[in-house]
Structure 1
């Protein structure tokens, strides 16, 4: 069933007002613009009422928004909505009825517009190609009578005609709006990652595709070209991370009617080999700890929180003095997928803590040169600081890039699980281990243990003998 709203927001040729007197008993009210008293943060629209044939009373019909709310100035919104209002009134006068099937009227109108377009195309071809006299006569029969001024406009050189004015915001303005709308929804670290990747993409666009000025010009092929370069210069995993960020941002744009469709969702992710944090042998771990006892005690305690409390490096960087309950030997921290989580501090780690009674509750537990102090740096920069310090240690002791701070977490979870499995069943050992590591499900823990090769079979030599 054809409805009137589809026609109002379409771009038709040769817009003219059709002035006709309304019937004595009006079937519809004159369309009006709702502008929210000039408030651009609210949605503007065109509205009208139509007489219900069953009740005989005027009924408010569906609001007409179109693309008006994509614009950020009053003048632009008034311009678009005025056009919608004008078209709506014209169609109503022609007999369009929101309570009836308007298919025949719709087809009649579209056929008329199609004929106009075809005639104009014929007109252009007759003026650009040499013709014989009888061909000119034939064409003249097809071309409808038009005003000289109209023909003159139509037959201008296409190269001299100005391109249509974009109906969407500029690319950077659209991106900034999406990032703004994510401000109170995502964590500061996540938003920082979004901003960094989106701005890098925008700089690439300005360098490679200068013609793409507005968000409506951006297509799937442009994003694919950028993602392919990321893959070739770094890794499939990094490319997939960019794609995930883009999909999030473009979904915000779609939800807020800035773009029509989030085409990023149709881009496939590539298979990527996950980064492997190799576990340390007992001798390797002891060698690192012995070295750090003399060279960097602060980094050693930082690593012990990863090793004994099974925290992630970033989670250790978030710890403050107020997060430690010295009476109950527990700590609260912001986990990867949870707002706040509580863990027991084992005695092997609690005994390593220095006297922190003089520290302020808001002091960070770890700073570059002191345990328990202030440090004006972001979480990411704090993690990077300790990461670089450990990289220097690895280089000095001869470890390659596969060994990381995260490797200590894998190492000690492996050691703990194997010790538990000696005097209990695998299921019992895993159940106890879940309480310590913080995995939410048994399936997640089992997958983790397989990934780090923590679960090994017993010696099966006797099965190989004849």
Structure 2
């Protein structure tokens, strides 16, 4: 064989397998994982998005074709000491060098052996280590209330595993059957809805471990979601809203102010307790709000300005004070002194929201004998339902084409539902969407 043919033979041997008349590359080109974001668009990301990306492990990854199975298998992620750096530039500098050197080595025919471990160093995480690892990541990526709910559910699952003898075992020892048994216990004690909520958080827990190459698959993803009937916050009628507000103005003015933000401003309870003085831009009629769908400015309608902001001089208070507190005025809202640290801390937003919900139940629900389906959040449903009916009648009276779709469009800009069909279903659930009366067809 001449030198040219010998050279080509070695090239093909190092890069391709000849199988069934097809060439199959022995490896995938190394790539850099950058925390789930496109670093080319780094400058366009928000500070929160950057923080979330940098809270994750960055690494170089590639796959190698197993000569026994013929399948590409993900190899051990290569991190170097990149994650000890806290900037995008620093991590990329190291990982780019690693990626280029790895690519060169693969082209030279330096492949991993079949006995190499295909998992990262984190594979050896114990149950305790795995839970701490995920909670640390989630704390940097979830809002306070969401993290508290997630943490509580995950900690209960960890307690279950320890009781079942998983104390010193590897997290990869947990099986789908173990999770199913736990979810069945929750179902027996509570409800399908609560069981599904726990399933969602457990799936998120194992998903983090998969993304971080601690385990190879999410064992929860194949556990089905059960059908359930979620509890709805029943909307109040217009007369009921009027009676509630008249009573509160006389008996609990600050609870009325809180309710006014939900009804007139269309805030959610949790969004109201998050408002600090510095968030309010009264001249622009805006409030910097942390909402369910993101962080942005929410408009303050004139009716809310007249009912609250024109009556309270916010300039008298510290800008870091919360707008609504148990003191019936803006303040810090601190917890009692901690017996261990001897310090006071800010009351969690979950407890602040719970406080106002209980206050509403005590003052309003007890007075008017409302059912458990009526909550302080029901006021938001009532406002959205009334707005729909007003817009629907206005568009219809003005003979505007497709007046119903126009009304649904208007509501969708407020609720952020994905389409008008979803808005219609929502309005039907709260009792504010009705078809034309069919009495004439039965005469």
TM-score, normalization by structure 1: 0.64
2:385 aligned partner: 414
Is 1:395 the counterpart of 2:366 in the alignment? yes
Change (3 A) 1:460 1:211: same
Change (3 A) 1:223 1:51: closer
SS of 2:323 mapped into structure 1: strand
SS of 1:339 mapped into structure 2: strand
Is 1:177 the counterpart of 2:100 in the alignment? no
Match of 1:449 among 395, 413, 427: 427
Is 1:271 the counterpart of 2:216 in the alignment? no
| Whole-angstrom CA distance in 2 between matches of 1:429 and 1:444 | 13
Is 1:431 the counterpart of 2:401 in the alignment? no
1:461 aligned partner: 439
Is 1:61 the counterpart of 2:118 in the alignment? no
Is the contact made by 2:357 and 2:376 (CA closer than 8 Å) also made in structure 1? yes
Match of 1:280 among 231, 236, 239: 236
1:242 aligned partner: 198
Equivalent residues in 2 for 1:36-47, closer than 5 Å: none
2:331 aligned partner: 373
Is 1:219 the counterpart of 2:175 in the alignment? yes
Tell me whether 262-271 or 246-255 shows the greater mean CA deviation.
246-255
2:89 aligned partner: none
1:23 aligned partner: none
SS of 1:369 mapped into structure 2: coil
1:155 aligned partner: none
2:159 aligned partner: 203
Is the contact made by 1:332 and 1:342 (CA closer than 8 Å) also made in structure 2? yes
Change (3 A) 1:201 1:344: same
Is 1:192 the counterpart of 2:148 in the alignment? yes
SS of 1:311 mapped into structure 2: coil
**C-alpha deviation, 1:259, in angstroms:** 1.8
1:328-357: CA deviation from partner (whole Å, max 9, x where unpaired): 333231221122132132325533332222
Change (3 A) 1:257 1:420: closer
**C-alpha deviation, 1:445, in angstroms:** 2.6
| Whole-angstrom CA distance in 2 between matches of 1:50 and 1:364 | 57
| Whole-angstrom CA distance in 1 between matches of 2:410 and 2:104 | 69
**C-alpha deviation, 1:380, in angstroms:** 1.1
Change (3 A) 1:289 1:326: same
**C-alpha deviation, 1:444, in angstroms:** 3.8
Is 1:386 the counterpart of 2:342 in the alignment? no
1:299-324: CA deviation from partner (whole Å, max 9, x where unpaired): 11111111111111111111122222
| Whole-angstrom CA distance in 2 between matches of 1:236 and 1:432 | 34
| Whole-angstrom CA distance in 2 between matches of 1:456 and 1:252 | 44
**C-alpha deviation, 1:412, in angstroms:** 1.5
| Whole-angstrom CA distance in 2 between matches of 1:247 and 1:326 | 42
1:293 aligned partner: 249
1:355 aligned partner: 313
1:322 aligned partner: 278
Change (3 A) 1:435 1:40: closer
**C-alpha deviation, 1:248, in angstroms:** 1.2
Gaps of 5+ in 2: 1-16, 20-25, 27-63, 69-77, 86-93, 334-345, 396-402
| Whole-angstrom CA distance in 1 between matches of 2:428 and 2:315 | 42
**C-alpha deviation, 1:50, in angstroms:** 13
**C-alpha deviation, 1:366, in angstroms:** 0.6
| Whole-angstrom CA distance in 1 between matches of 2:248 and 2:213 | 56
| Whole-angstrom CA distance in 1 between matches of 2:277 and 2:103 | 65
- Tell me the number of residue pairs that the alignment of Structure 1 and Structure 2 aligns: 339
Is the contact made by 2:280 and 2:286 (CA closer than 8 Å) also made in structure 1? yes
1:364 aligned partner: 322
The structure that has the greater radius of gyration is: 1
Equivalent residues in 2 for 1:84-123, closer than 5 Å: none
Tell me whether 433-442 or 269-278 shows the greater mean CA deviation.
433-442
Is the contact made by 2:153 and 2:198 (CA closer than 8 Å) also made in structure 1? yes
Is the contact made by 1:178 and 1:253 (CA closer than 8 Å) also made in structure 2? yes
| Whole-angstrom CA distance in 2 between matches of 1:222 and 1:464 | 58
2:33 aligned partner: none
1:406-451: CA deviation from partner (whole Å, max 9, x where unpaired): 1111112111211222221212323333444555643443332222
Change (3 A) 1:411 1:214: same
SS of 1:176 mapped into structure 2: helix
| Whole-angstrom CA distance in 1 between matches of 2:127 and 2:288 | 42
Equivalent residues in 2 for 1:332-343, closer than 5 Å: 332-343=288-299
Is 1:344 the counterpart of 2:300 in the alignment? yes
Change (3 A) 1:189 1:63: farther
Gaps of 5+ in 1: 9-33, 72-166
| Whole-angstrom CA distance in 1 between matches of 2:103 and 2:267 | 63
